[in-house]
Structure 1
Amino acid sequence: MIKPKIFQVNGTEYTVRPAKVSDAPALAELRLQIDGETEHFDRVQGEGLIDEGEFKELILLDTSIPNHLFLVAEVEGNLVGFSRCEGSHLKRLKHQVEFGVGVIKEFWGLKIGQALLSQSILWAHHQGLVKMTLKVIETNKSAIYVYKKYEFEIEGILKKHKRLSDGHYYNTLIMSRFFS
């Protein structure tokens, strides 16, 4: 189990910890806000909403399955980011998880996404997982740089995978980190 960990960057202190059921209302608002602040995700703001009840179910599920992890980042009692690792129940796929992360724009540059990623990597290693995979749009150069720094490699490209507000199509990179 991941224990809460405190980080300090540029005078801001934040905690990365496992999500709790009581975080559900804040997570519903946080995800909606993040979706409206960037085009790096699959959704535009308001699409694919997850309400408070669904977040409660998700947190309960993630805390009961060994190859799932749901983390949040908190500044002064307010959630500012989250990440999830989701594994499969299928025997042939149990050795790997898919990672996703989001941080509100106001807190970009404080390495919150990196803290969520590093804690997830530690967890995956301790779980004995073999592979952690994520998807990132080709225009998100700063995220790609960070993922490479954490030993992720490009494993594949989904061509013309997303159409952004400029009307152009962009590729999505599939990146993976291998543990053994």
Structure 2
Amino acid sequence: MFDSKIKQLELLTAQYEKLLALSAAHGAAESVNQEKFLLKRVLDELTWDSLEDTVKQEKRKAAVVLLDKWSYEEGSAGNIAYEKSVVELYERIEALLSELTEDTTFSIRLKALLLIEKSFINEQKEFSKMRHMDYYIWSELFADNQAKIYYPLELAELNATFREMYRNWPKRPYKDIA
């Protein structure tokens, strides 16, 4: 399904290159350029959606390396703590999902939250457009006494990583959480 849409959009994008040259003579270049931009945006989104989760994570890791290098070379205090913590959180979620085999109430709830957060992270290519699990829903589950039973699963580390990511998330809805 994605492949045929992607191919159609790639073809149209290439055709828009030709249209740009023709439209300049008729004074419609700006409109055609805006349409091309929208085509490219949809194409990028469909291409991202078609990728496997592991490929998306590899692309996020590569982006963090580039962001880190760029901020270092620019001499800025480039704070990419959010981006790094998203990558780390995703790694922890993947590891934990493979270890969760029980079907207890707590385990089912935990799997659900992890899969939701994983889906939210995978939804968007750009870190700045990502959304995340509600802080209070997440915290409520980890405050549950059942979490202590699952000590070998390193839930405390997962929770700490989520909290760090949340604190560094520029678009977090609860700004009072620091």
Using CA pairs under 8 Å that are at least 6 residues apart, name the structure with larger relative contact order, 1 or 2. Answer: 2
Is TM-score (shorter-chain normalized) higher than 0.5?
no
Between structures 1 and 2, the one with greater strand share? 1
Between structures 1 and 2, the one with greater helix share? 2
TM-score of the superposed pair, with normalisation by structure 1: 0.30
TM-score of the superposed pair, with normalisation by structure 2: 0.30
